[in-house]
Amino acid sequence: MKYLFGVLLSFFCVSVFAQSPGNDWADLSKYREANATLSVPAKGEYRVVFLGSSIIEFWKDLDPDYFSKNFYIDRGISGQVSPQLLIRFQQDVINLHPHAVIILAGSNDLSKDTSHISYVRIMDNIKSMVELAKYNHIKVLLCTYVPIGDYPWRKGLHPASKIMKLNKMISDYAKKESLTVLDYFTPLVNKNNGQKANLTKDGVHPNLQGYRLLEKVTDSVVHEVLHF
């Protein structure tokens, strides 16, 4: 309870800052109108929110039917780091009353797109999102990150080993907390721990064929967790 209070207090302070006039660092405005059109899930509607950055955002762009037919809600924003996802968690997850949330976080932190955050900080942000979900009776599915051999926009960072280290930390934490993990790494990985060339657009983002593999992983686990 003491830890949860700390999470809620930190979340409140950060959210107040993020929503101050002239400051929308977490891009809360992106989905504000779309969220307002959503009613409370109807009986039998097992709503699942996908929260993440470009891997999540581009998924719906390539396969919109996958989301609409499954009551899946895509709340990805390209380029976001884990603290931005945490700031958006109230608006883009909790307020949508989902049965479950899928959290994919960490790659942009490691690529230094917006800022550099240590593994500990990434995990702290993930843990805070998990605690907020639990407090609101939302089931959590964490993801191991997709394999990345190099970032086209920032070459030479050698992300493969960093992604694997992060994935181990996520898996270890999930095991400790009895959380479900979606393995988004194994279906896409090549022998060099990057993405298979036939499954990706740029070595970072899956193509439609790659996403279809992730869909199989997602559906089998979501159906098991939500019992439908």
Pair of tokens at residue 28: 């809360």
pLDDT exceeds cutoff 80 at 12: no
Domains for the chain: give ranges and CATH numbers: 2-12+51-226 (3.40.50.1110)
Mean residue pLDDT of the chain comes to: 90
Give burial (CB, 10 Å; 0-12/13-18/19+) of 136: middle
**pLDDT tier for residue 44 given thresholds of 50, 70 and 90:** confident
Q: How does residue 154 score in pLDDT terms, banded at 50, 70 and 90?
A: confident
- Asked if pLDDT for residue 2 goes beyond 80, the answer is no
- Which strand ranges, in their side-by-side order, compose the sheet holding 48-52? 72-76, 48-52, 100-103, 139-144, 180-183
Q: Per residue in 184-210, pLDDT tens?
A: 999 999 999 999 999 999 999 999 999
Average pLDDT over residues 129-144: 98
- pLDDT tens digits, one per residue of 49-84: 999 999 999 999 999 999 999 999 999 999 999 999
Helix or strand holding residue 118 (H, E): none
pLDDT higher than 50, residue 19 = no
Q: Please report where in the chains the tokens 């992983």 appear, as a residue.
A: 217
The residue with tokens 């479950």 is 100
User: In the numeric block, which tokens belong to residue 150?
Assistant: 């190099």
Parallel, antiparallel, or unpaired: how do β-strands 48-52 and 180-183 relate?
A: unpaired
Mean pLDDT of 111-121: 72
Q: Which of residues 86 and 8 earns the better pLDDT score?
A: 86
Q: Which of 30-39, 181-190, 196-205, 219-228 has the lowest mean pLDDT?
A: 219-228
118 close to 93: Cβ distance less than 8 angstroms: no
Mean pLDDT (whole number) for 5-18: 47
Distances from the Cα of 175 to the Cαs of 142, 168, 179, 181, 190, in angstroms?
11, 10, 6, 9, 26
Q: Is the pLDDT of residue 148 over 90?
A: yes
Quick check: 150 pLDDT over 60?
Answer: yes
Name the residue among 174, 199, 176, 179 with its Cα closest to residue 138.
179
pLDDT(16) > 60 = no
Give the C-alpha separation, 160 to 18, whole Å: 32
Residue 36 has pLDDT above 70, yes or no: yes
